[in-house]
Structure 1
Amino acid sequence: MTDWRAVGYGFVVTFLVGAIGLAIPGLGQLTAGLVGGFVAGYVARGGLARGFWHGLLAGSLGGLVVGLLLWLAIAVVGLAGGPVGGAAGALTGFGVFAVAAVIALVMAVESAVAGAIGAVLND
C-alpha cells in the first residue's frame, strides 16, 4: 500500500531542492531527485521494493507538476495572440507537457534508486 505522506515529503523536498538547484550552479536537478527519493524511501520504510516505489512516485510527481506548470504558462502566453493564439499555445503547451512527462518518468528512476537506499537504511 502506498504511503502518500512519504510521497508528499519526497515531492516537497524534490521541489525545494530543485528550486534551490536552479539558483546554485552545481547542485542541479539530479541532486533534487536523489534527495527527494531518499526522503520518500526513508519515510516509507519497508525494504527495497517499497522504497523504490515511493521514490519513483515522488520523483515522477515532481516532474509531472513542473510539466503541467509549463503547459499552463505556454497556454497563457498564447492567449496574447487571441483565440487562435490561445489554441496554438494550448497545443504547443501540451506537446511540451508530453515531453516533460516522459523525461520526468525517466528521471524518476534516480529517485527510485535513492528511495530504495533510504528505505533500507531506515529498516
Structure 2
Amino acid sequence: MVSVRGWLQCDDEQLAQIKEIVEADDPQRTYSGGWAFPARQYNHVRWAFYGGDIRAVSLDWFQERVRRIARIPASHQDDEFDARPRGLFLVSHDVQGMSEWRVYNGGLVIGLPDGDYRYLDA
C-alpha cells in the first residue's frame, strides 16, 4: 500500500477543472473519495486536499491524475509568478519509503523529501 497526503492551491476556474478530473475516470469512486474540497473557501486562493491509501499498482494511475491537474493552465496571466495549480504531496510506499511530489510550473517533480517528514512515514 501507498499512503498519499497532500494539497493543491489554485483559483476558482482551476478548482472546477480539478473536480472534473477527479470525478472523470474513477467509476468505482475508489480513490476519488480521498479528495476533499472545503465547502467554504475564502479569500482568493482555493484549496484541494487529498488523503488516502492506494494500492501500489494504482499509484501510476493516481500520478497521471496529478500530472493532468498540474497542466491546468493559468486562468489569467500574472507576470510575477506562475498562476497554475501548485502543491505538495507526501507519498509513503511500504517498500520504497517516502517521496515528495511537488506540483508547480505545469508539472510534477518527484524526489526525496526536502524536509524531515520521517515522523509521518509510520
Asked whether the two chains share a fold, i.e. TM above 0.5, the reply is no
TM-score (norm 1): 0.28
Larger-gyration structure (1/2): 1
